Chain A
Amino acid sequence: MAAITAAPDEASAVRRALDWATEALEAEIGIVLEGSVALASIGFPRGEVPPTALAAAMSETSELLDIGGLGLCRLASTRLELDSAVDLVVARAGTDAFSREEVGLLRAAARSLTMTLRLFRTLSAERTLRANLQKRQELLERLSVIQRAITRRLPLADVLNTITQGAVDLLDAEVAAVRLVDPQAPGEVVMVAQQGLTAAVAEAMKRSAVGEGAHGRAITEDGLVMVEDYSQAPVAMSQLVEMKLARAMAAPVRDGDRVTGSIVVATARGDLGFGALEQEMLSALAEHASLAITDAKRVEHIRELAFHDELTGLPNRGLFMERLAQALTRARRRRGHVAVLFLDLDRFKTINDSLGHTAGDQVLVTVGERLRRCLREEDTASRLGGDEFAILAHCDRAGAVQIARRVLSAMEPAFILDTREVLATTSIGIALDRGGRADAGGMLRDADTAMYRAKLGRGEGFVVFEPSMHAAAVARMDLEADLRGAVARGEMELAYQPIIDLSDLRILGVEALIRWHHPRRGVMSPLQFIALAEETGQIAALGRWITQEACTQARRWKRLDPSLKDLTVSVNVSPRQLQDSRIVSDVAAALETAGLEPAHLVLEITEGAVMVDVETAIQRLHALRALGVSLAVDDFGTGHSSLALLRRLPVNTIKVDKLFVDTIALDPTAASFLETIVRMAEILSLQVVVEGIETAEQATLIASFGSVLGQGYQLGRPMAASVMDAVLSANVLAHRGTGRSGRARSRPRLVTRAAPTLEDLPAPLAG
């Protein structure tokens, strides 16, 4: 742009401005119009502007123009501030709109041209040619100093000081200052550069309200402001009145096309006004201040915005893909290794939904920090979007696995939010390449697929991609589709497994377990589809159905045989369900509909479900307890098994995981551990249910620890409700005459096999 102001004559200034603007905006056509005359044009055959194009360029409303040979073009124009109407117009083939930044560039070119033309025109008109020539020379020299300062990227404060110094010198002013609106307090401006004020006065005037002073008016009015007889002006500032300043002039400073501040000059000389030339000079200085600010901001932000995720500061998907593509190209040349790790936070959606986006963002920022610490300098961590992160590493399988382990352990500690701690484990999928055979998109997709596998499995938290997983991913999508509507199609069924008092083998309760009769895959266990239902948000509806069905069934058994009046039914609650506040009303509604006494419904939750967000979980459990339902901690002993936590939970029952039972007959420490749990539960007044009892020896041994309930294949497999009818009846008959608390005289025979034989059944039923 310095080339425009340095042009030797008017015609070349116009042409240089036109060249600069068309090139900067990548436009095909450019016209400088004075009234209906084209002063210069580019892009038309033989430089002749066709009348239609001329008319369109002159119209202030038209934005699109059909130019022969180029088709539809987008127009942008800006008017020069001259006595006659001169417009700088560019047209670009296609209908893409010009960006704000591009329009800003056009205005900057127009401003430089305005200033130059004005100088030429003023010069030729005025008699005091010599003085003005000198002044013009001075201005141009000063502007070129400023332009150099901007070009060399001197600190913004230095550039603005150069501008205020220029203002004082060129306009014979005592005071000059640049003020910018404080982005933190948009009603205030801060003085960022000044000349002519003592340090004390400058400090006192550092902040002022936007409306104050000539500088304030220039901002609110978005135009050049002249204040004559300063001391009497309503906007006068006391400090400047004290300095006996007679007149002031201010012009707005912009960032792009937004007014963000102003430059002001003031003089004590009453005899000399600010004429047209002085106004133009201040406008030119203001324009240069605008350029410096826009430029400084652009440098600061452009890379961050274009290539980094604003929240975490990590490279974004675009930059990640770029680096991955480059890594693959290099790997092709050097037969190198490339690994992509795809990370996804488990249950992040739950955190976001229950604690709000701010909390979610806090977690993401922390994840970003932890990832950075896990990586070597040459590796790249990126946030792809949402809660998805990726790592690009230059290593083989062993190296990638090492990184995955490092990341998983870095993610283990709780995320400390403002008021609470949250756990969010991570699943990682790994895709590997040697020799750059893969393409970037494919590699990321493979890592994503492997990540899903990691999420579903109960492995180490990471999975390395295998080609067979593609098929699995497709199958998973099919399954997801099948799952929708499975309830409505009647494919879901509840099976019931008895929960038995080990002291007398009486059935005290049943646990409802869901089965899916898939039309093609046959019977599927909850392990095969509950996680999927959680991920896809279908768990809420499924959970409602299970609870309702189980309550209704329990009520039916009670009606069938009054001696089953204390029978409980247990229902599993998934982590996602527990985070959903609707669960309380859903359970209440199910009890109401079934007419079941709340105490006879046991909701089983895992420790893991609680650990997702302990505070919310505890709150939710209290609300459920308030309904009167019983609560059981499922899979006790497999997770954190925190006694402290257990004491905070309003639960009645703990269910000890099968893991402890498996080794009990062989390993004395396992037995004593189980016994300790039973004792501890007694102290805490908790009922204990031991799961997974598969042999008579186990049952006998566990019964010896104390008052314990049991569940397992030895005591009864999960069975259809209709089969359970018979088993319950037989159990009732076998215990008739023995009190609930009393012991049978002779140990009763266990009659809970899934398929009762005739011999098992009491006579009335067998008949």
Chain B
Amino acid sequence: MQTDVLRSDAASTVTAVTRWFGVGRSGLADSELAGAEAGAAALSGEDGKLVVVFASPSHDLPALVSGIRSRTADIPLIGCSTAGEIATDGPGDAGVVVVALGGSGFVARTAMARGVSARLRDAGAEVAACADEAPDHPHHALLLLSDGLAGDQTEVVRGAYSVMGGATPLVGGCAGDDLLMQSTKQLFDGEVLEDTVVAAWLASDAPLGIGVQHGWSRVGEPMLVTGSAGSKVLTLDDQPALDVYLERLNPPAEAHRSASDLTKFALTHPLGLSRRSGEEVRFIAGADFDERSLNCIAAVPQGALVWMMEGDLDSVLAATDAACREALDALGGRAPLGVLTFDCIARRAVLGEPGIKREIDRIAGHTNGPVAGFYTYGEIARTHGVNGFHNQTLVVLAVA
């Protein structure tokens, strides 16, 4: 069992203010016992405010949640299934990672919306309504865990934004199912759900820092998106997008014919979209071989400049460092109590198993404290503009 506990006490003139952040992990096969073990380890102080759970879909999730709540009682809980869990000691599968936050320095509210696929935007707005007033806790963020298989998550983020407004960052990720791509689960208090979005509004009297980096590097010349409809790219430089993609990157022969082989190749060769505020990555989920178009996970506006991207170990790890620095820099010099990471499954594909171990070691090295997170089907981080849904990206939330 691995337990990370860091406790921070900060004195105010009126009352003693405390904040704590604990991470527990369990590799036990029995779901209820695993939940109890990780829950107990995470709970490292009095006055618990929020429990966040990242669990392998291989677990009996109702039993797992019951095990956790046997220790955390009625502290509000949100969580989701994963494509791999992350804790301070590294990445893992078939396990559970539990994060608990508490102390008078934190305020948390949670919410859940059902039937998301039929009302993506409204569902985002609905969970965001849990945001409260907390004048003594000026730093806040909305943590979202959603079902990435339930339609365009850009809309969920947009809905949440319509309620939160520009001043509150949004952060989180889409649940996974170990790459089976069949169904993902969300956890809310004692329930195990599908087709939902769960959220926690977290307010703190200390800063919360967010870092977003992708770590892909450009290959070849820029191209103009001359034709697109939503997330479908029809033409690049007036040529059919699929043909341009195949010609530029020359993937293995199978990828020229088979959609699934193309998707596999595309996992490590996304499109990079040039935006005013930097570069956004668009994961290519598939192609229409008749229409010769590419299907991306999020919108690619016509008229945009795009690059073919590729990643290697060095560039992805460099992005890890940059995301950590970005998140930590926002803490205004305070040491982090711990960090939450939402790491794209595609980055895991590029890094390989030894690589992801190195990545988590690096994150832990930067933060010098507990780390918890999971491998996602899409990352959420809105810190500027209205867009906050990302692909193939690492999002780091540092909690001071």
CB under 8 Å from chain B, chain A span 294-314: 295, 298-299, 302-303, 306-307
Contact flag A45-B303 (CB < 8 Å), given A303-B224, A326-B220:
no
B222 at the interface (CB under 8 A from A): yes
Count class of interface residues, chain B: 35 or more
A557 at the interface (CB under 8 A from B): no
Question: How far apart sit A307 and B163, CA to CA, in the bound complex (Å)?
Answer: 41
Question: How far apart sit A153 and B164, CA to CA, in the bound complex (Å)?
Answer: 39
Question: How far apart sit A42 and B162, CA to CA, in the bound complex (Å)?
Answer: 5
Q: Which residues of B contact A22 (CB under 8 A)?
A: 385-386
Question: How far apart sit A332 and B385, CA to CA, in the bound complex (Å)?
Answer: 36
Q: Which residues of A contact B312 (CB under 8 A)?
A: 329, 333
B257 at the interface (CB under 8 A from A): no
A153 touches B385 (CB 8 A): no
Q: Which residues of B contact A42 (CB under 8 A)?
A: 161-162, 386
B166 touches A93 (CB 8 A): yes
- Minimum CB–CB distance from A16 to chain B (whole Å) comes to 12
Q: Which residues of B contact A299 (CB under 8 A)?
A: 224, 226, 238
A326 touches B218 (CB 8 A): yes
Contact flag A295-B303 (CB < 8 Å), given A45-B163, A47-B163, A93-B166:
yes
A487 at the interface (CB under 8 A from B): no
**A27-B385, A307-B222 known; 16 other A-B pairs, CB under 8 Å?**
A26-B387, A28-B384, A28-B386, A30-B386, A44-B166, A45-B163, A47-B163, A69-B165, A151-B229, A295-B303, A298-B303, A299-B226, A302-B224, A302-B305, A322-B218, A329-B217
- Minimum CB–CB distance from B54 to chain A (whole Å) comes to 29
- Minimum CB–CB distance from B115 to chain A (whole Å) comes to 20
Task: Select B385's contact among A28, A152, A295, A302, beta carbons within 8 Å.
Answer: A28
| Complex: chain B residue closest to A152, CB-CB | B227
- Minimum CB–CB distance from A307 to chain B (whole Å) comes to 7
A45 touches B385 (CB 8 A): no
B301 touches A24 (CB 8 A): yes
A-B contacts, 21 of them at CB < 8 A, read: A22-B386, A23-B387, A26-B276, A26-B384, A26-B386, A30-B386, A43-B386, A45-B168, A67-B167, A68-B167, A69-B166, A92-B385, A151-B302, A152-B227, A295-B303, A299-B224, A303-B222, A303-B224, A307-B221, A326-B219, A329-B217
Question: How far apart sit A457 and B220, CA to CA, in the bound complex (Å)?
Answer: 37
Q: Which residues of B contact A43 (CB under 8 A)?
A: 161, 165-166, 386
Q: Which residues of A contact B222 (CB under 8 A)?
A: 303, 306-307
CB under 8 Å from chain B, chain A span 41-55: 42-47
Q: Which residues of B contact A47 (CB under 8 A)?
A: 162-163
Question: How far apart sit A299 and B221, CA to CA, in the bound complex (Å)?
Answer: 15
B235 at the interface (CB under 8 A from A): yes
- Minimum CB–CB distance from A290 to chain B (whole Å) comes to 15
Q: Which residues of A contact B164 (CB under 8 A)?
A: 45
Q: Which residues of A contact B302 (CB under 8 A)?
A: 151
- Minimum CB–CB distance from B304 to chain A (whole Å) comes to 10
B182 at the interface (CB under 8 A from A): no
A153 touches B235 (CB 8 A): yes
Mark A residues whose CB is within 8 Å of B: 19, 22-24, 26-30, 42-47, 67-70, 92-93, 151-153, 295, 298-299, 302-303, 306-307, 322, 326, 329, 332-333
Q: Which residues of B contact A67 (CB under 8 A)?
A: 166-167
- Minimum CB–CB distance from B47 to chain A (whole Å) comes to 27
- Minimum CB–CB distance from B214 to chain A (whole Å) comes to 16
Mark B residues whose CB is within 8 Å of A: 129, 131, 158, 161-168, 217-222, 224, 226-227, 229, 235, 238, 275-277, 301-303, 305, 312, 314, 384-387
B168 touches A69 (CB 8 A): yes
- Minimum CB–CB distance from A155 to chain B (whole Å) comes to 11
Q: Which residues of A contact B303 (CB under 8 A)?
A: 295, 298
Question: How far apart sit A152 and B217, CA to CA, in the bound complex (Å)?
Answer: 29
Question: How far apart sit A302 and B302, CA to CA, in the bound complex (Å)?
Answer: 13
| Complex: chain A residue closest to B164, CB-CB | A45
Question: How far apart sit A295 and B226, CA to CA, in the bound complex (Å)?
Answer: 10
Question: How far apart sit A302 and B386, CA to CA, in the bound complex (Å)?
Answer: 25
A19 touches B158 (CB 8 A): yes
- Minimum CB–CB distance from A420 to chain B (whole Å) comes to 39
Q: Which residues of A contact B218 (CB under 8 A)?
A: 322, 326
Q: Which residues of B contact A329 (CB under 8 A)?
A: 217, 312
- Minimum CB–CB distance from A521 to chain B (whole Å) comes to 46
- Minimum CB–CB distance from B249 to chain A (whole Å) comes to 13
Best-surrounded residue of B167, B218, B224, B229 (most CB of chain A within 10 A): B167
B386 touches A23 (CB 8 A): yes
- Minimum CB–CB distance from A593 to chain B (whole Å) comes to 62
| Complex: chain A residue closest to B307, CB-CB | A322
| Complex: chain A residue closest to B310, CB-CB | A329
- Minimum CB–CB distance from B113 to chain A (whole Å) comes to 16
Q: Which residues of B contact A45 (CB under 8 A)?
A: 131, 163-165, 167-168
Question: How far apart sit A19 and B154, CA to CA, in the bound complex (Å)?
Answer: 12
Q: Which residues of A contact B385 (CB under 8 A)?
A: 22-23, 26-28, 92
Best-surrounded residue of A22, A45, A333 (most CB of chain B within 10 A): A45
Q: Which residues of B contact A332 (CB under 8 A)?
A: 314
B275 touches A29 (CB 8 A): no
A-B residue pairs, 3 tightest by C-beta:
A69-B167, A28-B166, A45-B165
Contact flag A29-B166 (CB < 8 Å), given A23-B387, A153-B238:
yes
- Minimum CB–CB distance from B361 to chain A (whole Å) comes to 23
